[in-house]
A and B are shown apart, each in its own frame.
Chain A
Amino acid sequence: MSAAAIHDDAAMAQASSGAVVLQATGVTMRFGGLTAVNNVNLTVSEGEIVGLIGPNGAGKTTFFNCLTGMYKPTEGQVTFQGTVLPPKPRAVVQAGMARTFQNIRLFANMTALENVMVGRYCRTSAMALTSILRGPKYRHEEEATRERAKQLLDFVGLSNTAEHLARNLPYGDQRRLEIARALATDPKLILLDEPTAGMNPKETEQAKELIFRIRDLGLAVVVIEHDMRFIFSLCDRVLCLVRGETLVEGSPVEVQRDPRVIEAYIGTPDEDEVDDEAAKEEHS
């Protein structure tokens, strides 16, 4: 686990020096009577990897959606590099925050390269007339877009499958392609929603290594994951959500040792039934 050791040192160095990138304060999301996310705070600094864990239905993805403008939080605000973000996905991406999806949402009938090139959309400017007239400036921009997309595919290790359709890629490659597409938007912060779901141990290891390399580019990373070994060996800080509320926040070691986390995942024998009933009520 030399990678982990190196990363620990780096984390120590960066955690103290990095400027705050994202600050979410008091984010609350209610759907009718259901409070999916309740008063959650999150601060992410440059070059930091933050993990977000919690049992199913804890509100992790909803929290992500609030951060990325897919949902407008009922209360609270999200500040990115000192400015309050409007709840519009496009503005969020423009500001420098990109995401991947829990259930892969690639453009299935486009090639891998084209998928990444779509990610470049918000950093390029060719409009109708330039596209039709095809002047030197347009061609230069297209070439640059293509070049950058190829670099990114290379970065995530998909250079050989650039011209393959996204839907024909193996599952693990699709996950990596989604990351490449998100990176193409030149983000300062990347949010990964279960990046290793459905992966085998070897692929998980590769994914971890990829996330470290992304961090080394100077990006901040927020990861949702269920794989505890993965998250505790990856993150600088871990936030555990349970029923929409922050249960614990701290270093991986602290969170790992916290009995409440174990309880939240597995439940205590006595409260088991009560918990289940409460959960049922909440869902109905």
Chain B
Amino acid sequence: MSTQLRRSPDPKASVDSAAPSMQWWLVLAGTVLLIAGSFLSWSFTPAILGNVTITGLPAPLQIFTIVIGVLGLFLLLLRMGRFHHISTLLDSARGLRALGVTATAYLVLVVLVIALQAPGLANADPGVFVCLVGAGLMVAGSLRMPSDPTVDPISVHLPSWAEILVIVALMALVLFGAAYALGQEDGTVFSLFLLFLSGVVVALQRAGLFGWIGVIAARNRRVITLGAFVVAFLFPLTQDGSDANMSIATQVLIFATTALGLNIVVGLAGLLDLGYIAFLGAGAYVSAMMSHSAFANIGWKPPFLVVVLIAATVSSVLGLIIGSPTLRVSGDYLAIVTLAFGEIFRLTVNNLDGNNGPDLTNGPNGIPGVPELEFGSFKFGDTHEIFGITLGRFANYYFLLLVVAALIITIFTRLNNSRIGRGWIAIREDEKAAEAMGVNVFGLKLFAFAGGAFLAGMAGSIKAHQDVSVTPDQYIFLESAFLLAAIVLGGMGTVAGVLVGATVLKLLPEKLRFVADYRLLTFGLLLVLMMRFRPEGLVPSGRRALEFHEDDERLAAKVEESHIEKVTPTGGRT
């Protein structure tokens, strides 16, 4: 949707540069009311919604509406013909429409929450209704507004410092937003924040900002990667020793790391693996069995780095064993076999308890008491102080996992962008033709499969220590399904997509009771909606998007254009 070229049929028809039209004034009135109302009191009850009772001092929830109002004002100014540089890029009418709808939905929800939680509609103050009227006016005004003609963002070149500045600002926003979202204890406020966030994102996307940011990001790939890692490294510093949030962040990171490995199998090689969690489990079990845990049944305790290698190797050998007979046949067989393999793994570790075989895994009890990691004198269980900021146990693991994630991302991108990566794409496109052109189809599939298992084993060996115990019920089919869901949701074949997908899938249940209670229902619905409206995922790779839209000529033209932009020397090739 954002990736489509938009060209208004009649370019002269729209911009109200000379004399602002009726609609323009209507929207202006709406935004002003929205902002003014946000400074008023919204409710008599201070206990709900993070206290929105104080006139003149907006609470976070009210700041959100102010942000919407300010964005609206900005877009209105664009319509006046101000900021000519940007106004050619953005379609303010579509943006305003989305903003108006977001504001309305947001305020209706706020009123509902007040009515339900306060309880009673009588507890709502006039402020919230002033805002609601303002939002309604925004919608009414923008509905009839003609679209702006926009130019293709690729043709717009800013000085490179300005582009980098945009990226830095974006990163800062992401860091700030993540810290804020994680800090929310109140589920209602969290959901409203999500609504606000997604609304603004949609509005800016409608306006065409994301197309532009995408172009900038493609031009400054290194800056954006570096920035993302800086943000990720800075994140624990914003938490100041709060273990609750860091625990969630570590969970997200382990999940994302595993999903990245799976994305090599699914996204790059195009193989459907439904038992991937078993490889993670194998790594975790090997690591636990070789740890100093009192319940570990293997006498040999090598240093951790050796354990990581052994765990990863064991996983990849399992991958080879599963892969070599099944990868020769095409299609769904692999999915079924991997599904069965996941079950076999679970049943095996459940039964290797000394009664039904060698005593390796302690059966259903698992291996508890896996000790904390130690690198030299650095103990991962201890709390450390850096610049007066406390970094707890989870922060230590977080940093370690970040290094692993960086490693896997490097492997992912470099493989994708090599002879092997080309072979994978060729296999996905046309397996017969690839074979006839000399591509080692079986070998490359097997490599993807075993390589993915290797990375999962690596992640698993760390997970064992971070979780303190390893039990069979951590590695069930459902987890494989969630990993796959993260990839489908985020976008096959991209790093950013998987990170987004993994974050959404892990964060939502932690923060929202509703999602946690109805996890399968919500995720199922989410996936159905994705399949219907955006099968390529939230952040797809251009090529993957094309594969899902075989006859979208405009998309093909668009992808080609951005590719040519990337490889021509003028486009700032990285």
Chain B residues with CB under 8 A of A109? 425, 429, 543, 546-547
Inter-subunit contact A131/B418 (CB<8 Å)? yes
Chain B residues with CB under 8 A of A164? 560, 564
Q: How far is the CB of A236 from chain B (nearest CB, A)?
A: 25
Query: Does chain B have a CB within 8 A of A195?
Result: no
Query: Does chain B have a CB within 8 A of A119?
Result: yes
Inter-subunit contact B436/A132 (CB<8 Å)? no
Query: Does chain B have a CB within 8 A of A262?
Result: no
- A117-134 Cβ-contact flags toward B at 8 Å (1 or 0): 111011110111001101
Query: Does chain B have a CB within 8 A of A245?
Result: no
Chain B residues with CB under 8 A of A118? 422-423, 425-426, 434, 437, 439
Name A110's closest neighbour in chain B (CB-CB). B425
Which of B419, B425, B560 lies in contact with A131, CB distance below 8 A? B419
Chain B residues with CB under 8 A of A117? 422
A35 to B422 Cα, complex, angstroms: 38
B392-424: which have CB < 8 Å to A? 410-411, 414-415, 418-423
Q: How far is the CB of A147 from chain B (nearest CB, A)?
A: 14
Query: Does chain A have a CB within 8 A of B374?
Result: no
Given contacts A105-B430, A128-B447, is CB(A93)–CB(B425) below 8 Å? no
Name B417's closest neighbour in chain A (CB-CB). A131
How many A-B contacts are there with CB distance less than 8 Å? Answer: 117
Name A113's closest neighbour in chain B (CB-CB). B567
A106 to B436 Cα, complex, angstroms: 11
B433-466: which have CB < 8 Å to A? 433-441, 447, 451
Inter-subunit contact A165/B559 (CB<8 Å)? yes
Query: Does chain B have a CB within 8 A of A90?
Result: yes
A165 to B560 Cα, complex, angstroms: 6
Inter-subunit contact A131/B438 (CB<8 Å)? no
Which of B411, B437, B560, B563 lies in contact with A121, CB distance below 8 A? B437
Query: Does chain B have a CB within 8 A of A181?
Result: yes
Inter-subunit contact A131/B415 (CB<8 Å)? yes
Query: Does chain B have a CB within 8 A of A194?
Result: no
Main secondary structure of the interface of B (DSSP, over half): helix
Inter-subunit contact A142/B419 (CB<8 Å)? yes
Name B438's closest neighbour in chain A (CB-CB). A122
Given contacts A121-B422, A164-B560, is CB(A107)–CB(B436) below 8 Å? no
A119 to B415 Cα, complex, angstroms: 18
Which of B411, B415, B433, B441 lies in contact with A105, CB distance below 8 A? B433
Which of B429, B441, B567 lies in contact with A110, CB distance below 8 A? B429
Inter-subunit contact A114/B422 (CB<8 Å)? yes
Give the contact-size bracket for chain A: 35 or more
Inter-subunit contact A134/B414 (CB<8 Å)? yes
Inter-subunit contact A132/B556 (CB<8 Å)? no
Inter-subunit contact A126/B419 (CB<8 Å)? yes
Query: Does chain A have a CB within 8 A of B557?
Result: yes
Inter-subunit contact A98/B437 (CB<8 Å)? yes
Query: Does chain B have a CB within 8 A of A196?
Result: no
Inter-subunit contact B418/A142 (CB<8 Å)? yes
Chain A residues with CB under 8 A of B415? 128, 131-132
Which of B426, B435, B563 lies in contact with A89, CB distance below 8 A? B435
A118 to B410 Cα, complex, angstroms: 22
A39 to B568 Cα, complex, angstroms: 53
Name A125's closest neighbour in chain B (CB-CB). B419
Inter-subunit contact B563/A111 (CB<8 Å)? yes
Inter-subunit contact B422/A132 (CB<8 Å)? no
Chain A residues with CB under 8 A of B85? none
Query: Does chain B have a CB within 8 A of A182?
Result: yes
- A241-283 Cβ-contact flags toward B at 8 Å (1 or 0): 0000000000000000000000000000000000000000000
Which of A94, A119, A131, A163 lies in contact with B414, CB distance below 8 A? A131
Count of B interface residues, CB-CB < 8 Å? 37
Inter-subunit contact B451/A93 (CB<8 Å)? no
The interface centre, meaning the residue of B415, B422, B451 with most chain A CB atoms within 10 A of its CB, is: B422
Chain A residues with CB under 8 A of B429? 107-110
Chain A residues with CB under 8 A of B451? 128
A84 to B559 Cα, complex, angstroms: 45
A163 to B410 Cα, complex, angstroms: 25
- B548-562 Cβ-contact flags toward A at 8 Å (1 or 0): 000000001101100
Query: Does chain A have a CB within 8 A of B432?
Result: yes
Inter-subunit contact A122/B439 (CB<8 Å)? yes
Q: How far is the CB of A144 from chain B (nearest CB, A)?
A: 11
Q: How far is the CB of B327 from chain A (nearest CB, A)?
A: 15
Which of A107, A121, A123, A163 lies in contact with B430, CB distance below 8 A? A107
Name B429's closest neighbour in chain A (CB-CB). A107
Chain A residues with CB under 8 A of B426? 107, 110, 118, 121
Query: Does chain B have a CB within 8 A of A145?
Result: yes
A163 to B433 Cα, complex, angstroms: 21
Chain A residues with CB under 8 A of B422? 110, 114, 117-118, 121
Q: How far is the CB of B430 from chain A (nearest CB, A)?
A: 5
Name A105's closest neighbour in chain B (CB-CB). B433
Chain B residues with CB under 8 A of A60? none
Chain B residues with CB under 8 A of A106? 430, 433
A122 to B543 Cα, complex, angstroms: 23
Inter-subunit contact B419/A124 (CB<8 Å)? yes
A265 to B546 Cα, complex, angstroms: 42
Chain A residues with CB under 8 A of B563? 111, 163, 165
Inter-subunit contact B556/A121 (CB<8 Å)? no
A58 to B353 Cα, complex, angstroms: 65
A109 to B546 Cα, complex, angstroms: 7
Name B418's closest neighbour in chain A (CB-CB). A131
A50-91: which have CB < 8 Å to B? 68, 70, 89-90
Chain A residues with CB under 8 A of B547? 109
Query: Does chain B have a CB within 8 A of A140?
Result: no
Query: Does chain B have a CB within 8 A of A208?
Result: no
Q: How far is the CB of A39 from chain B (nearest CB, A)?
A: 25
Q: How far is the CB of B444 from chain A (nearest CB, A)?
A: 9
Inter-subunit contact B420/A93 (CB<8 Å)? no
Known: A109-B547, A131-B419, A168-B557. 6 other contacts (CB 8 A): A107-B434, A110-B426, A111-B563, A122-B439, A122-B440, A167-B556
Question: Which 6 pairs of residues, A with B, have the shortest CB-CB distance?
Answer: A122-B438, A93-B438, A131-B418, A105-B433, A107-B429, A109-B546
23 examples of A-B residue contacts, CB within 8 angstroms: A89-B438, A93-B437, A105-B430, A107-B430, A109-B425, A110-B426, A118-B434, A118-B437, A118-B439, A121-B437, A121-B440, A122-B439, A127-B420, A128-B447, A132-B411, A132-B415, A134-B414, A141-B419, A163-B564, A163-B567, A163-B568, A165-B559, A168-B556
Give A contacts to B, CB under 8 Å.
68, 70, 89-90, 93-94, 98-99, 101, 105-111, 114, 117-119, 121-124, 126-128, 131-132, 134, 138, 141-142, 145, 163-165, 167-168, 181-182, 185
